[in-house]
Structure 1
Amino acid sequence: MAAASLNVENVTGLLQDCLSKLGFEVYPLKVGWYNSVLSPSLRLPFPDDSLAVVVLSTPAMFEQAFLPFMEQRGCQGLSDPIDQCVKHCATSAVSQCFPGQNVDVRYDYELLPSRKPKFLAQTAAHVSGAAFYYQQSDVTDQPWAEKKMFGVCVHPRFGGWFAIRALLVFEDVVVGSEVVQPVPPDCVPTREGRIQLLESFNFHWQDWSYRNIICPVQTYSQKQRDYFSARPAERFALLRTWGFLPKEDHQPDISSDAQSEMITHG
């Protein structure tokens, strides 16, 4: 499809057709919506009216995309298997749906040479209307004094049982002024609820209680919980016991300092 004939509706429609059956969701946004809330050093290097699409994984992704990916293709090298699966799914969808188009694909795990992330996943999810990004500034009369509290997104259907995986920027697709920025659903409107959410996320993230801040329509399966509960280096051993990796594979040396890894990738 020629760039001139692409618009928000058919881009998101084509991506949804490719990715929804694999357990992903897609949400369009204007680059300008994203850039307007960030400092210049964190903005995307594209015109404000360019179309971007944020890609989320739902609880279904593990069984519908990841395990079949491991069974059919296996793990190539020592990079994170989930990252490999997401990259395969995203690049396959782009090449299948938009051959010849200029599409900049950025993943949640990628860093620029400056060590800054290639995109801020939770900001992208918020401005697209996909999930509300609850931050410390969203709590009035904070009980934490000068303590830094990290923010977290809540999905209106899945609560915390999802992950933000990628951002696709369609460099040649212009979003018209008639497209209005959606407001993400405020699933945790009370001060008490937001305190509970941020404290659960910052202080007790290992027990995953923050993910149930609302009643989700679906959560991770037990197999998926076992996988994401394991330290990154231990996940290869788990895949081996499930029969997805040969016994003789060497276990990679991955740091076990993995709070951010488990939070963003689980």
Structure 2
Amino acid sequence: MSALLQRRLDELLSPFGFQCDPFKISWYNAVVQPCFRLQYPEDTLAFVVLSTPQMFERAFKPFIAVMQLSDVRDPIDECVAHYFSLVRKNFPDHRIVAIHDFELLPNRRPKVLVQSAAHVAGAAYYYQMKNMQQNPWGEKKICGVCIHPRYGGWFAIRGVVIFPDVQDPSLEQKLPMDCVSTDEKKIELLKRFNFHWQDWTYRDIIDVEERYSEEQKQYFATPPAERFKLLGLKSDC
């Protein structure tokens, strides 16, 4: 069942620059704190959804060209929400629960930890200090980051799609590729991500197949409130 659903998801979303990878709820719940666990049976099938460098050209720009977005807070979020809605429409025989990366609970906690989901699905490796032998920062809070084996840091994790009515106990877990091979390189990655993220060099911690286009880089380098001007939109702020 999971292979069939993945094939249908790929046919629907990959032409627009999205990547979908399956995981079981139990895999995710095993690596997150109890307060972040998803309340579904352990064999429930879910997919993590990534946007690759192609998404900007294949999905976002065409979406902006035809949609009226004068009152939105974030055009990218609206675009991704649109494609998530296509999943619901194209799977009418299934109950679909889509959780976006930006969704929060009333207590301001994320509804889903997308980096953990990407790791357990084998889509991207989640590098964290707790997994390394060396720790040059002591008790200082250091945020982890996912690296994709093909795109390095030139991608984003957009959320998860859960099929509550599909149980797949036979689904085998695919481990993510540990493409940042040494502790020294991993420390360099976390240093770049935590302290120099604005120069984007962490994204090139490995050799990559594809990066964001110059137009896409300009868009994401622009402060969010000013991005509307690049798109010819009016902000509601």
Equivalent residue, structure 2, for 1:156: 149
The yes-or-no answer on 1:217 pairing with 2:209 is yes
Give 3-state SS (helix, strand or coil) of 1:117's partner: coil
Return the TM-score normalized by structure 1: 0.87
The yes-or-no answer on 1:193 pairing with 2:177 is no
Where does the alignment leave 5 or more consecutive residues of structure 1 unmatched? 1-6, 254-266
Give 3-state SS (helix, strand or coil) of 1:90's partner: helix
Q: CA deviation at 1:175?
A: 0.9
Bigger relative contact order (CA 8 A; separation at least 6): 2
Equivalent residue, structure 1, for 2:110: 117
CA RMSD of aligned residues (A): 1.0
Equivalent residue, structure 2, for 1:167: 160
Identity of aligned residues (%): 49
Q: CA deviation at 1:155?
A: 0.2
Assess, with a 3 A threshold, how the Cα gap between structure 1 residues 129 and 95 changes in structure 2: closer, same or farther.
same
C-alpha distance in 1 between matches for 2:44 and 2:94: 13
Equivalent residue, structure 1, for 2:121: 128
Q: CA deviation at 1:74?
A: 3.3
C-alpha distance in 2 between matches for 1:204 and 1:14: 39
Equivalent residue, structure 2, for 1:108: 101
| Contact 2:44–2:165 under 8 Å retained in 1 | yes
Matching residue within 36, 39, 48 for 1:45: 39
Give matches, 1:20-39, under 5 Å: 20-39=14-33
Cα deviations by residue, 1:35-69 (Å, 9 ceiling, x for unpaired):
01122211001111100001000000000000000
Flag as ranges the 4+ runs of structure 1 deviating above 3 A.
Answer: none
| Contact 2:101–2:159 under 8 Å retained in 1 | yes
| Contact 1:25–1:56 under 8 Å retained in 2 | yes
The yes-or-no answer on 1:11 pairing with 2:44 is no
| Contact 1:233–1:252 under 8 Å retained in 2 | no
Give 3-state SS (helix, strand or coil) of 2:61's partner: helix
Q: How many residues align?
A: 237
Equivalent residue, structure 1, for 2:51: 57
Matching residue within 59, 74, 79 for 1:80: 74
Give 3-state SS (helix, strand or coil) of 2:160's partner: strand
| Contact 2:70–2:236 under 8 Å retained in 1 | no
C-alpha distance in 2 between matches for 1:21 and 1:76: 27
C-alpha distance in 2 between matches for 1:190 and 1:80: 37
C-alpha distance in 1 between matches for 2:33 and 2:56: 35
Q: CA deviation at 1:76?
A: 5.0
Where does the alignment leave 5 or more consecutive residues of structure 2 unmatched? none
Q: CA deviation at 1:79?
A: 2.0
Equivalent residue, structure 2, for 1:3: none
